Structure 1
């Protein structure tokens, strides 16, 4: 007990770097879960989208909070859900951007990570909670995470730091669910 307390005090924060010496199965085990930029309950998977019916669902709670989540499985699948820039009008109607895609992820030899979506399942939509929303349109964007790491502190939830090639700054996501909360890991649209 004393040894583990001293070890924690001396080491402090233990980073698990994505570009480190871990093999693929260890990296996938650490990534497993649903990670979120929001500390509030955020919509994911079937509570967020139905790709087969081209439908997004406004969150019941915290509907004025930006939400971006990445979910990862240990066997190489991912899901991305974004509920972006919600604004509440004078009529108490909410307007927001929805993005959804899922597919596979893999690690490159330089330590970076690619997220390759299933081609027909990605969706993008501008929505309004009171008015008819625009139809969801196909969305297919392969992401390259040039840097990624997981910071583990004994007193806090793990933090996944993702830096996509086109982002100015990395995104910090905290672990929201483990196991991951997501739709099926197979293509959903025929």
Structure 2
């Protein structure tokens, strides 16, 4: 009973605070899946030429800012059980704003004019060698999420639960601050549909101005202040780690003396 009490105290001090009180500061950063090849930012989508850049391997990435902006980069491949030569692949880019509601759910609202998708469905297209490039908009609802340190990989981990409560593949912190494209509308065409954007003018001068801003942004993309993160570089976690070691040491000593 005494040991159980110690374990509960350990969890209360070092683990529970990581999972409690969801906030935008908690989500801040660029998160990527296990393949570690898909990241948001200019390496995934070129907004000047409106090009989606295919990563080496499938995977997903989400970036969040502390002031309510997000970006998503998805590269998904779905196999065909009946015909293995007919996989469906999609590359999707969206960005916009997000909010965390009181119950911990997360709502992503994309900028409608900026979403893009490249879809390859070789067995259901007129030309199997061509992919379909189109505008894409899909608001997203996450039921909840957890942020914790994965004891196996030793990295900050974001476990997202989708709208139906099912687990999304875990995401690992890759950059902080996040690696992202500008958060305003990148390719405005219709002022009525530029949600969450302050750039409402769609005339040619405005478009040229935006293109110039984007060009400068992409030229500076590799001078980003986003820093690659890993488990042991986080000073906050370092405190959790050594505190846990001390508590476990005390518990072991108590058990040894008792026996």
TM-score category of the 2 structures, normalised to the smaller one: 0.7 to 0.9
Distance of 2:112 and 2:50 partners within structure 1: 15
Higher strand content, 1 or 2: 1
**Contact 2:40/2:62 (<8 A) preserved:** no
Aligned mate of 1:150, from 133, 147, 156: 147
Residue 46 of structure 1 aligns to a residue whose secondary structure is coil
1:158 is paired with a residue of what secondary structure?
Answer: strand
Partner of 1:42: 38
Q: State the distance in 1 between where 2:101 and 2:120 align.
A: 36
Q: C-alpha offsets along residues 6-33 of structure 1, whole Å, 9 cap, x if unaligned? A: 99x944972533xx445xxxx1111111
Look at both structures and tell me which one has the larger radius of gyration over its CA atoms: 2
Q: Distance in 2 between the 1:82 and 1:102 partners?
A: 12
Q: TM-score, normalised by structure 2?
A: 0.56
Gaps of 5+ in 1: 1-5, 88-94
Deviations 1:80-134 (A, max 9, x none): 00111289xxxxxxx8420010000101122211011011111111259xx9743
Shift in Å, 1:52? 4.7
Quick one: distance in 2 between partners of 1:43 and 1:72?
12
Greater relative contact order (CA < 8 Å, ≥ 6 in sequence): 1
CA distance in 1, matches of 2:148, 2:39: 24
Could you say which residue in structure 1 is the equivalent of 2:105?
Answer: 112
Paired residue total:
166
